[in-house]
Each structure stands twice: as C-alpha cells, then as structure tokens.
Structure 1
C-alpha cells in the first residue's frame, strides 16, 4: 500500500462480518463514504500481497476488508491510521449474545488427572455453552489463525467417562490431542501445553461467534485453504517461535 502508515489487524467486529456469505452487501452499506475495497480470501503472503497490489493499481483505497481474515487500513500518520481503525470498528460494531455461566468446578473435576485444564480466559466457555457458537466452532475454521492454532473444527466431548483415561497420552496415530475441547452445558477445556497463541485464538473465536446472529450464513475456509496454511513454512516457523517463547 502507498500510505506512510499501514495497519493490519484481526479485529473482532470485522472478522464477524467478513466470514458471512452476505459480507460484501453489509460492508457496502456500513462503510459508505470511506475509500474501501473488499478482497475475497487469499492465502497470506505473496498471493494476498499480489491481489492487494493489483487492486490498488485500479482503485485508491484506504481500507481493505480481507474476506475470512481481517482489516487493513492506510493513512499518512499513526494517529490517522488508528482513527480509521476506530471508525471502521464503530461502523461494524456488533452486540454479543448474552452468555450463560459456565460450571468451572465441574470442569476442574473433569480435567483432574488428564492433560487438560481450564482456559485462561473465562469467556472461552461461551463457545461450548452457546449452541450456535458451538455449531460454528465444530464445523470448520473461519480465518487463518483459527486453523493454525486450533485446527479445523473443535471437537465436542459428549461422554465425560470417555475423556479421563486416554487424554494424558498421545493419540494412537501419533498426533497430539486437540488443543481444546468443548463440553456442552459446562464450558471449554484447553490442553495443558496450549500456547499463548492458542489461548488468544480461543478468546477470539468466542468473541467472533457470539457476535454472529442466529440467522447468519457462515463461509468457512476450504480444505485446500487449511492445507496451504498448516503446510506453510512461514507458519511452521512462527509456531516454533511461539513454542520457544512459551518455554522461556
């Protein structure tokens, strides 16, 4: 982008709109008067940068909405860029659905003797307790960091008795157990070694899904999108850095 200052953020309200099938129509109405452009989902890195470059050669834009990804703004000063982010977020603001209280005592009891614990952020529980949020979270991944840190679709633990014995060990296929599990009616549990990045993505997923209305039609990343992300050298490198910081 030609601007002096460029900000790229994964803002909750923007993502909550950008994963919907009617996203472009809603953005057209809500961002009227701003120099903005919509970009369909593209793999981060060179593919996305090429599309941005091509788009800006055709039209001037200070705001880019990245489908299933996030927000980019450009301005001539830091204050101007920050103000533009605030303006976009205020126009896209969505009220979260009310949340039912989790049963953390029951969750601690369930986690005893396993490789799981309660998440650091209590609002993560709403992913499991709210039926619509749970349906979205178990159906696929919404944005790049979702699949990278949490995988495609969080599993639901339906039978607690099936949970205790095996979860302290690696699965028979040699893969680690899921980063998080959803327990309907009770809340969410995270693997003991879940990284700060995974914790942040659980919080983000809770914030995004509770802002999606019950009538929303959601667009998930495709299997090809997910495969490109998890096998991307840049993401593997970032995951190693995250793991090393956690070890420190």
Structure 2
C-alpha cells in the first residue's frame, strides 16, 4: 500500500504563496511516497547492478535518478551505487524549481540542497553534486556512470570519429557528446543545452556516460546496447610481482594494491606513459590526486618517502614500480583504492599510439578546491571508519 504524506518543504521565500500557503507545498501535497513501490525497488535494483560492475562504476562514482509527479529521487553525494538496495542513499528533490535555478544562474542549483523534499529525506544526506543535470534531462530514468570503455574513448584526440564509428552499430539510439566541464552546474549547463532533443545517450568527454529512458527496462536495455558498442579490448601485461612489492614497501606508508587488476598500470610501458601523462577524468584527481610517483630501480618506498620529506613535499597516494606493480598509500580508503583499478582499466583500453587529451591544470585546481568534492571525500573517510 502506498503511504500518503502531507508535509512542509524547506524552500526559499520566492516560492511562498501570498495567502501563506506555500506554492511548492500546495503542488506536492498528497503525492505518494514511492519508496515502498515495486517501481522504486526496481530503480534501486538497477542502481545496484550498475554500481556492482567495476567496469561501469567505481566506489562513490556515478549516480542515478528517477522522476515522478515532479519529484526526483537521486543518489546522495558520497554514497556507493552498489549499496542502493542495502542502504538509504536516495534523496528526493523537486524538479522544476531546480531546473529554473540552473537556467537563471542561481547559485542554489550547485548543491541542490534548497530543493530537497525534507520530510522524505530520511538519510539526512545531501543530493549528488550532479543532481542539477539529472533534473535538466527530461527523461524519467537517468543513469550516469563512469564506464571505463567510454572514458578510454572519450579522452582520445580522435574521440569524435572513434565514437561515431562505434555508435553507428546502434543506430536506434540517439546520442550526443558533451565537452568537459567541472561536474556540478558547469556540466549541467552544457547538458541542459542538449536536453530538449531528449538524447538516449550522452557521452561526456574525460568523464563518463549518461543513459536516459522512459522506463527502467528501457534504460537497462540501452545500457546493455551501448556497453557492447563501446567495448574495447585490454592491453596484455606481464604478471605483478607481489612479493617484490611487499619488500619494497617495508617500513613505508604504502602497500601493494589489493586488487590484482590495479597493477596493470605499472606492468606495461604504454600503460605507464598514459597514466603519467596527466589526469584523465575527475574522480582520479579527487581520490588519487594529480601526481603519481615512480620508483627507480632498487629504490624502496621508504627511501622515496624520505626524499620527498626532505624536500618538503607530501608523498603521492599511488606509486608505480615499473614492471612489478602498484603501491598505494595506507591512508587511502576503499573508495580511493578502487580508483587505482579504474585507472588500470582505462589506460589499458586506450589504443596503442593514440594521442590523449588530459585535464588542464585549471581543471585540476577546480576539482581539488571544490567544497562539494571535499564533502564527498569526508563521507568516504567517515564510511571507512564505520566499517573498520
């Protein structure tokens, strides 16, 4: 049975009714709470399936949304899609006022917290940093995720032709590309320009992919089709030498990457060159930083750390030991460690000899000094303490 609710929304004064009845409250009074319905459970299931596929989503990356009756449920910032069915991670926001705020350049569209349906926000969390673009897209169901195949193609200088060739195999899907913009309202503004055409798929340069549809089933089917179209082969590498890595890491604040696939970054000269060339996508910058260290032959992680300390520099969160594997900082949470796997999956799919477009220093600065991402990292650290 649906639970019917009446409640007061947290809103800005401009939405107040002249007779004292809030316009937004009046518009949404008596709407059903969807959380107990089969369709909402299906939404959580789809979100969880996306989140549990490492080739689609890594850690707290990616977000999904579901719209009905003017309310949009969207993944909370800093939470994992993989846990959608097990934890309360969806936040309800009202759509139209948020879209209006985005179009008017209203700063409240950045965090979207002023548009939360507070009586239904049982988690008390704030919505995804990308909520505004979900609202701008007209489709009832939207799935945004960091598909490693899509990223590997969307960082190429030749990405327009590469993507066109691959998407030609799914002519039934309409698609557009979106230039790189910082997540939040800069990216939402670009996506809003394309929203009127109701594309099925949006490929975000140096970022990921968005798949839209009218139903959960339609979006799931489109995800399957576009995944097949964009699938790239991976570069073969030698095997990691974990025993050597453990010895190299002794006495330092580093340890061998726990996920065997993460070591591929260090096990191919091409992979190393691509990884060390710059930052490829936002979540790498946020969780692993803008620098990757490289140990020289015979150098220990402890010696590397000491040299940086003497120079007054903090050590990077990831070290490459050429042809042996990857060492990660012991300060990294699970959310940070999984980004090493993401990097390995992305660089391993970039074709040999390809020219790559990296994020600029200005792009990196925007990400590392952005309050919304600092909040997301704080949640990740908090989650790690709770599960320790």
Q: Over residues 35-88 of structure 1, what are the superposed CA-to-partner deviations in whole Å (9 max), with x where a residue is unaligned?
A: 10011101100011111111223x331110000000001111112112111111
CA separation of 1:166/1:214 partners in 2, compared to 1, >3 Å: closer, same or farther?
A: closer
The residue that corresponds to 1:49 in the other structure is 188
Change (3 A) 1:22 1:142: same
**Among 261, 277, 293, the residue aligned to 1:139:** 277
Q: Which residue of 1 aligns with 2:335?
A: 197
Q: Displacement, 1:178?
A: 1.1
- Residue 97 of structure 1 deviates from its aligned partner by 1.2
Contact 2:248 2:300 in 1 (8 A): no
Q: How many angstroms does 1:174 deviate by? A: 6.3
Question: Shift in Å at residue 176 of structure 1?
Answer: 3.9
Deviation string 1:70-122 (CA, Å, 9 cap, x unpaired) is 00011111121121111111001111111201111111111111111111111
In 1: Cα distance, 2:311 partner to 2:385 partner? 25
Greater displacement, 150-159 / 116-125: 150-159
Do the aligned residues in 1 keep the contact of 2:254 with 2:301 (CA within 8 Å)? no
Partner secondary structure for residue 229 of structure 2: helix
Alignment correspondent of 1:171: 309
User: 1:27 pairs with 163, 166, 172, which one?
Assistant: 163
The reply to whether residue 39 of structure 1 matches residue 175 of structure 2 is no
**Inter-CA distance 186–98: structure 2 relative to 1 (3 Å threshold):** same
CA contact (8 A) 2:156 2:355 kept: yes
Larger Rg: 2
Q: Distance in 2 between matches of 1:189 and 1:131?
A: 17
Q: Which runs of 5+ in 2 are unaligned?
A: 1-136
1:4 equivalent in structure 2: 140
1:77-156 residue pairs with structure 2 within 5 A? 77-156=215-294
**CA RMSD, Structure 1 to Structure 2 (Å):** 1.7
Compare relative contact order (CA 8 Å, sep 6+) and give the higher one, 1 or 2.
Answer: 1
Structure 1 position 142, deviation (Å)? 0.2
Query: 1:185 aligns to what?
Result: 323
Shift of 1:170: 8.3
Q: 1:164 to 1:90 in 2, by over 3 A?
A: same
Shift of residue 31, structure 1, vs aligned partner: 1.2
**Is the CA contact 1:114–1:168 (under 8 Å) kept in the aligned structure 2?**
no
Number of aligned pairs? 247
The verdict on how the C-alpha distance between 1:168 and 1:119 changes in structure 2, with shifts beyond 3 A counting, is: farther
Superposition TM-score, scaled by structure 2 size: 0.61
Residues 132-141 or 169-178, more deviating: 169-178
> What is the distance in 1 between the residues matched to 2:254 and 2:356?
30
Any stretches of 5+ residues in structure 1 without a counterpart? Answer: none
Displacement of 1:162: 5.5
Q: Distance in 2 between matches of 1:49 and 1:164?
A: 44
Contact 2:242 2:324 in 1 (8 A): yes
Contact preservation (8 Å) 2:278, 2:290: yes
Give 1:169 deviation, angstroms: 10
